[in-house]
């Protein structure tokens, strides 16, 4: 009897230990489809934790040889490694485990739990582009960090880490709200991040590169916000501020320098797009200069036939189509050609990006009255568009509309009518009868049908 009682007590203790971990309640830290039970904080891969089968064949969690705060450090390092290697799902899973471990180690109101929520929100945004989840975790983190109890638990040695966590939270929250088109809510959060980034740079114990990263990321986020608000002057100022910070880290060689250079390539392109939106001749010239810098940097980083180089070349072509000059259209065609050659070599002629470039070339041909070349290119790419996008897709409808428009410009009304009717049929399926594109195409068809040239060829109804 005694041995039976001991065995029963032992089973009870094992189940208790297992349920103690499995019953963690933190629905706010989960993404859709993830339950707290799916976050196995005691997985065998984590040092200090072990599992063994119980008598019923289920795996039960055994006591860890390392305390939760140590496991939190290990999980955090593992998550950042996965994030760096773009192992998206593994990284997110580790960040979720960090939230669970932080709660176990420090409780519900500690700044380290807030930091874990902030890191998870940032991972959702950067790796999966889940703006809703990023906002949710950032709001939880902000609420904890602004709680007086959390600040009382913060020592002088923790000050740098707490401010860094708060910057990350405000930055992630602001960027997520921009993605959700809640621009008025995003701006104060990003301005708070900017102020804190300035403050952290003045602390004696701060890592200089980390402070520069915060400053550059905040400036970029504010620039993108102002682009969305059509405040192009403000956006330009913030883009230039971010570029000045980045340039300090691009001299010399090494992996860290390369990462800063990659960011700088993207920033030159974004600044050029912002300048093109201002539409003045001077700004268009500045945009082209920025794209030349981006192209030069991309060539040095990735090589001649890299997709990144093709993307910059594509942007260069688009910029030349918006500039004024006797050779602007010739240069635009050359840059389209460079981008298309790389895409066809690396991704194939029927790839989505190749087809996008060819559509841009068609529009350039139409603009320069080279209708036969435009029509020929549209016919050659139609089958590929149907294969990539589907027979009843917006892209195929647009191809029929372009072909019809070219015939219309050439005075071939019957051919134009046939193609525009095909376009209308697809547009109705894609957009519905009341969409502006459907109405526009329908009106064009009606005008063609009323013209004497088409009316004369229509059979008379008896």
- The CATH number of the domain holding residue 462 is 1.25.40.10
Output the pLDDT for position 193: 96
413 within domain boundaries: yes
pTM: 0.77
Structural domain tally of the chain? Answer: 1
411 within domain boundaries: yes
Higher-confidence residue of 229 and 14: namely: 229
Average pLDDT value for residue range 24-35: 39
What residues contact residue 457 under an 8 Å CB cut-off, 6+ apart?
A: 414
390 within domain boundaries: yes
Residue 28 has pLDDT above 60, yes or no: no
In the chain, the N- to C-terminal Cα span, in Å, equals: 105
The percentage of the chain sitting over the pLDDT mark of 70, rounded to a whole number, equals 81
444 within domain boundaries: yes
Angle at 315 between CA 311 and CA 320, to 5 degrees: 145
Instruction: Pick the closest to residue 180 from 125, 118, 238 (CA basis).
Output: 125
29 within domain boundaries: no
136 within domain boundaries: no
The DSSP bridge partners found for residue 52 are 60
Output the pLDDT for position 313: 96
Output the pLDDT for position 148: 64
Report the largest interatomic distance among the alpha carbons of the chain, rounded to a whole angstrom: 107
Q: Which domain holds residue 378?
A: 372-462
Residue 15 has pLDDT above 80, yes or no: no
448 within domain boundaries: yes
Average pLDDT value for residue range 64-93: 91
Output the pLDDT for position 450: 86
Average pLDDT value for residue range 443-448: 92
Map tokens 């993605």 to a residue.
Answer: 179
Residue 459 has pLDDT above 60, yes or no: no
Output the pLDDT for position 252: 60
Output the pLDDT for position 250: 78
Confidence at 254, pLDDT banded by 50, 70, 90: low
Residue 3 has pLDDT above 70, yes or no: no
Residue 418 has pLDDT above 60, yes or no: yes
Model confidence pLDDT, tens digit, residues 391-410: 999 999 999 999 999 999 88
376 within domain boundaries: yes
Confidence at 327, pLDDT banded by 50, 70, 90: confident
Mean of all residue pLDDT scores within the chain: 84
What secondary structure does DSSP assign to 2-63, as a single string? HHHHHHHHHHHHHHHHHHHHHT---GGGPPTT--GGGS-TT-TTSTT--EEE-TTS-EEEPP
Q: DSSP H helical segments within 202-324, as ranges?
A: 208-228, 232-247, 255-278, 281-302, 307-321
């Amino acid at each position: 009897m005694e041995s039976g009682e001991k065995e029963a007590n032992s089973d009870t203790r094992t189940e208790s230990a297992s349920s103690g971990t499995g019953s963690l309640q933190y629905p706010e830290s989960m993404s859709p489809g993830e339950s707290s039970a799916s976050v196995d904080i005691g997985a065998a891969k984590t040092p200090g934790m072990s599992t063994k089968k119980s008598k019923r064949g289920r795996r039960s969690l055994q006591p860890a040889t390392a305390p939760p705060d140590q496991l939190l450090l290990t999980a955090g390092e593992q998550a950042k490694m996965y994030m760096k290697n773009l192992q998206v799902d593994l990284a997110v899973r580790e960040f979720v485990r960090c939230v669970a471990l932080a709660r176990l180690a420090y409780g519900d109101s500690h700044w380290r739990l807030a930091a874990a929520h902030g890191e998870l929100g940032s991972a959702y945004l950067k790796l999966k582009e889940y703006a809703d989840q990023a906002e949710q975790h950032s709001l939880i983190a902000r609420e904890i960090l602004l709680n007086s109890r959390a600040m009382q638990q913060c020592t002088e040695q923790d000050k740098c880490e707490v401010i860094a966590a708060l910057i990350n939270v405000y930055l992630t929250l602001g960027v997520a709200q921009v993605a959700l088109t809640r621009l008025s809510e995003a701006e104060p959060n990003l301005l708070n991040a900017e102020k804190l980034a300035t403050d952290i740079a003045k602390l004696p114990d701060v890592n200089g590169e980390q402070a520069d990263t915060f400053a550059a990321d905040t400036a970029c986020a504010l620039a993108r916000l102002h682009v969305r608000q059509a405040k192009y002057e403000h956006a330009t100022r913030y883009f230039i501020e971010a570029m000045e910070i980045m340039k300090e880290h691009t001299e010399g060689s090494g992996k860290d320098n390369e990462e800063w250079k990659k960011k700088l390539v993207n920033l030159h392109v974004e600044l050029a797009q912002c300048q093109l939106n201002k539409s003045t001749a001077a700004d268009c010239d500045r945009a082209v200069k920025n794209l030349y810098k981006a192209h030069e940097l991309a060539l040095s980083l990735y090589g001649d036939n890299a997709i990144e180089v093709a993307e910059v070349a594509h942007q260069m072509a688009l910029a030349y189509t918006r500039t004024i000059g006797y050779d602007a259209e010739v240069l635009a065609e050359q840059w389209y050609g460079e981008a298309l050659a790389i895409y066809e070599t690396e991704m194939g002629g029927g790839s989505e990006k190749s087809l996008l470039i060819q559509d841009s070339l068609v529009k350039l041909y139409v603009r320069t009255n080279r209708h036969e070349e435009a029509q020929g290119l549209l016919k050659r790419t139609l089958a590929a568009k149907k294969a990539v996008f589907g027979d009843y897709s917006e892209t195929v409808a647009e191809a029929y509309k372009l072909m019809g428009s070219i015939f219309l410009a050439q005075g071939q009304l019957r051919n134009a009518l046939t193609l525009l009717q095909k376009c209308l049929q697809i547009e109705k399926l894609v957009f519905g009868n009341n969409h502006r594109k459907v109405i526009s195409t329908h009106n064009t068809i009606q005008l063609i049908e009323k013209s004497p040239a088409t009316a004369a060829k229509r059979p008379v109804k008896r």
